[in-house]
Amino acid sequence: MAMTHPPEPIAHGGALSEAIAKHGGEPSQWLDLSTGISPFSLPLPELAKNMWRRLPEMAEASRVGEKAMKYYGGSVLPLAVPGTQAAIQLLPFLRPDTGEVAIVSPTYGEYEKSFRRAGIEVDLVSTLDAAAATRAGIVVLANPNNPDGRETMRDDVFGFVRTQRHRLVIVDEAFADLRRDLSMVGAAGMEPNLIVLRSFGKFFGLAGLRLGFVFAEPGLNRILADRIGPWAVSGPALAIADHAFSRMDLVSELRERIDKAHGQTRSALNMAGVSIVGETPLFFCCEVGDGEEVRDALASHQVLVRSFEHSPSHIRIGLVPDDLSAVRLRETLRLVLPRSA
Amino acid sequence: MAMTHPPEPIAHGGALSEAIAKHGGEPSQWLDLSTGISPFSLPLPELAKNMWRRLPEMAEASRVGEKAMKYYGGSVLPLAVPGTQAAIQLLPFLRPDTGEVAIVSPTYGEYEKSFRRAGIEVDLVSTLDAAAATRAGIVVLANPNNPDGRETMRDDVFGFVRTQRHRLVIVDEAFADLRRDLSMVGAAGMEPNLIVLRSFGKFFGLAGLRLGFVFAEPGLNRILADRIGPWAVSGPALAIADHAFSRMDLVSELRERIDKAHGQTRSALNMAGVSIVGETPLFFCCEVGDGEEVRDALASHQVLVRSFEHSPSHIRIGLVPDDLSAVRLRETLRLVLPRSA
């Protein structure tokens, strides 16, 4: 893999300070809906002081891995990583001789970046069927997809994995926490050419923790573990995940709050006359004509959403945390959107 | 860089659960001196809930980077990484066409592992002078060194960096927090072929956080930043470092406690008749005949130290946290060490 000149970072959601630098206001005045992270966080446990002091031990990572396996419904022990982003950085090493990767697109931009960095040719395809027609040794699918919410039925993913044994299939299920019906987690490890990535921070509202899990057969996981190195995940992240996976009562509560906020956000969008073209439990993808313009107009009212170069007519809107924010979103959208006849 | 079969992980200090599995006892009964991490931790600030929730923003990482620059005495903004280990994993990408690296040895084992993984030939040399006689495009020096405490004078490092412009010189200063006289941090960024790594967790007693800093000229830092990806460092780690670098009163306090514990540990070793062959402010390297045997004998009394395959007659002993532990260390050493005439 040749060294390439490091490209500029991709603009992501969550850059509130940049928005403040441009549009003013205090952080507390902003309604930040620019990410797909739940606005509700798992109540944090009291952390033993030891968690901060000591290097996290392998035994702790294994114990959390076992709980993650049960929680996500996996068949094999996952590898804990400091955010799925950290795993994405390393995916090219799984098949370094692969000349080509097919990415079902548009999707999370860091996949393309990671494979290009490794000198692997990137084929942006629009469906799994199209991926089957390429020479790609690796296929990437986010399910449900970010940012458009597109879903691929589990049977279709299964069929692809089974019939395309010569390809490594990477399924990013960062937004599948409330969509077990779509998840391939249980098949990872059983199917030797399947890898499933799960994000901890999005559903649990703890993105600052940096934690994710990779489900795959042990050989693939060992390559990633070796590349990522020892003590990659912080002690507090492991302790908080341990807590989360043991408290199904708190998980149910989070789920209910997310469901409610999802309904409130949908109503706000509907009442503002915004056309929803896709969704996951944690965000909506909306058709607004000129995404960048609408994003800027909303930002001038301290409401932050995300626009996309690859989908210039869309914006992505995360969940509002409460009634008041729902009203604010609705009214601000009404204010900035061109009225159609 | 060819894919190589992932090797077995290196045994490191800090594997208390493994020791407990073998020798029994509860964690609270053990005196764990197996790492070079300070036994005293920075008092933690109250963490804003936001730190856990949100993705850490670039602006936050930059702000902490500025404070780290001042604190460590750097001339350029460092890159924050989730532990220096994470940077070590990526060093081979700085000069992927280098066929050979010279590592001043014996030292921290993960350097060799990281370069070998990348298919780079590793030349274990015993001094910088010996490194100058190799064809290595990269030279690694830990200063002071782990585990033997060997020091290389700053002038010598400077001279090497200046006369060996065709080589990239990586200086690991994980144990240099109390040895400013040795540090090359101020020259990193000014000298284009110099990289300095600093560990946050060792001096601040917060290894579980996963935080370190890389000082180098912007081009090199960009390669590492690109490889490590966005949001590599957790929000809480950034917030705690921000706090630490703003509280020189707490830093002085830590320094005093470490100085005192260092004296207590030295006395215990001296009184037990142990021969100290090297030291840093955070650990002692001792000559004990058969290191592995002594380590096991100490472990049977629930005192954990570190032995080394590459230095079989040595053990490394971290700082005792208090008087009682000093007495325990002294008495246990007396019990297990063969009495010399």
3-state helix/strand/coil string of B17-44: HHHHHHHCCCHHHCEECCCCCCCCCCCC
Q: Do B235 and A208 touch (CB under 8 A)?
A: yes
Phi, psi values for residue B227, rounded to 5°: -70, -35
User: With helix as H, strand as E and coil as C, how does B99-165 read?
Assistant: CEEEEECCCCCHHHHHHHHCCCEEEEECCHHHHHCCCCCEEEEECCCCCCCCCCCHHHHHHHHHHCC
Q: With beta carbons under 8 A apart, name residues in chain B contacting A16.
A: 54, 57
Read off the tokens for A192. Answer: 């030797």
Rg of the Cα atoms in chain B: 20
In chain A, residues 307-326 whose CB comes closer than 8 Å to chain B: none
**Predicted local distance difference test score (pLDDT) of residue B340:** 54
Nearest residue of B to residue A58, measured between CA atoms: B15
Q: Do A57 and B17 touch (CB under 8 A)?
A: yes
Distance (Å) from the C-alpha of residue A2 to the closest C-alpha of chain B? 7
Check CB contact of A249 with chain B, cutoff 8 Å.
no
User: Helix, strand or coil for residue A193?
Assistant: coil
Check CB contact of B236 with chain A, cutoff 8 Å.
yes
- A149: pLDDT confidence band, cut at 50, 70 and 90? very high
Residue (of B214, B177, B236, B235) closest to B40 by Cα position? B177
Read off the tokens for A136. Answer: 């790609």
d(CA A201, CA A175): 10
**Which pLDDT tens digit goes with each residue over A285-330?**
999 999 999 999 999 999 999 999 999 999 999 999 999 999 999 9
d(CA B149, CA B153): 13
Q: Give me the half-sphere count of Cα atoms (radius 13 Å) on the Cβ side of residue B95.
A: 19
Q: What angle do CA A316, A325, A108 make, to 5 degrees?
A: 20
Residue (of A44, A39, A170) closest to A98 by Cα position? A170
Q: Do B37 and A15 touch (CB under 8 A)?
A: no
In chain A, residues 111-170 whose CB comes closer than 8 Å to chain B: 114, 117
Q: Helices (DSSP H) in chain B: which residue ranges?
A: 16-23, 49-53, 58-72, 84-90, 110-117, 128-132, 154-163, 218-228, 235-246, 248-271, 291-299, 323-336
Q: With beta carbons under 8 A apart, name residues in chain B contacting A64.
A: none
Q: With beta carbons under 8 A apart, name residues in chain A contacting B97.
A: 3
| Percent of the residues in chain A that have a pLDDT greater than 70, as a whole number | 95
Q: Do B237 and A233 touch (CB under 8 A)?
A: no
Nearest residue of A to residue B16, measured between CA atoms: A57
In chain A, residues 38-97 whose CB comes closer than 8 Å to chain B: 41, 44, 49-60, 82-83, 85-86, 88-89, 93, 96-97
| B300 CB neighbour count, 10 Å cutoff | 15
Q: With beta carbons under 8 A apart, name residues in chain B contacting A9.
A: 58, 230
**Predicted local distance difference test score (pLDDT) of residue A220:** 97
Read off the tokens for A319. Answer: 């969940």
Q: With beta carbons under 8 A apart, name residues in chain B contacting A41.
A: 49, 52-53
Q: What is the mean pLDDT of each run of 10 residues along chain B (341 residues)?
A: 55 79 93 95 89 85 95 97 96 94 97 96 97 98 97 97 98 96 97 98 95 97 96 94 96 97 98 97 97 96 95 97 98 87 39
What sign does the dihedral B255-B232-B87-B162 (CA atoms) show?
negative
Check CB contact of B217 with chain A, cutoff 8 Å.
no
Residue (of A83, A122, A334) closest to A232 by Cα position? A83
Q: With beta carbons under 8 A apart, name residues in chain B contacting A97.
A: 3
CB B216 within 8 A of CB B41: no
In chain A, residues 180-199 whose CB comes closer than 8 Å to chain B: none
Nearest residue of B to residue A40, measured between CA atoms: B53
Phi, psi values for residue B76, rounded to 5°: -135, 160
- A56: pLDDT confidence band, cut at 50, 70 and 90? confident
Tell me how far CA of residue B89 lies from CA of A90, A327, B227, in angstroms: 11, 48, 10
Query: For the residues A225-250, what does the mean pLDDT come to?
Result: 95
Query: Which one of B35, B55, B204 would you mutate to disrupt binding with A, by most A Cβ within 10 Å of its Cβ?
Result: B55
Give pTM, 2 decimals.
Answer: 0.93
Q: With beta carbons under 8 A apart, name residues in chain A contacting B237.
A: 234
d(CA A66, CA A77): 6
Read off the tokens for A256. Answer: 């209910």
| ipTM value | 0.90
d(CA A10, CA B194): 28
Q: With beta carbons under 8 A apart, name residues in chain A contacting B115.
A: none
Q: What angle do CA B212, B216, B219 make, to 5 degrees?
A: 120
**Predicted local distance difference test score (pLDDT) of residue B17:** 86
**Predicted local distance difference test score (pLDDT) of residue B1:** 40
**Predicted local distance difference test score (pLDDT) of residue A338:** 74
What sign does the dihedral B65-B69-B70-B75 (CA atoms) show?
negative
d(CA A42, CA A203): 9
Read off the tokens for A232. Answer: 């990659």
**Which pLDDT tens digit goes with each residue over A319-334?**
999 999 999 999 999 9
User: Helix, strand or coil for residue B304?
Assistant: strand
- A14: pLDDT confidence band, cut at 50, 70 and 90? low
Instruction: Order the strands of the B121-125 sheet from edge to edge.
Output: B79-81, B212-215, B194-199, B168-172, B138-142, B100-104, B121-125
Tell me how far CA of residue B259 lies from CA of B201, B262, B272, B282, in angstroms: 17, 5, 20, 9
Check CB contact of A210 with chain B, cutoff 8 Å.
yes
d(CA A297, CA A337): 9
Query: For the residues A10-25, what does the mean pLDDT come to?
Result: 83
Interface size A-B, in CB pairs within 8 Å, comes to: 179
Distance (Å) from the C-alpha of residue A26 to the closest C-alpha of chain B? 14
Which one of A37, A93, A234 has the shortest CB-CB distance to B234? A234
- Which amino acid, B16? L
Phi, psi values for residue B280, rounded to 5°: -130, 175
Which one of A1, A236, A240 has the shortest CB-CB distance to B1? A1
Tell me how far CA of residue A120 lies from CA of A2, A93, B18, B94, B98, in angstroms: 10, 11, 41, 19, 21
Residue (of B304, B293, B288) closest to B13 by Cα position? B304
User: Helix, strand or coil for residue A211?
Assistant: coil
Residue (of B79, B200, B184, B80) closest to B142 by Cα position? B184
The torsion region of residue A210 among left (phi > 0), alpha (psi -120 to 50) and beta comes to left
| A129 CB neighbour count, 10 Å cutoff | 11
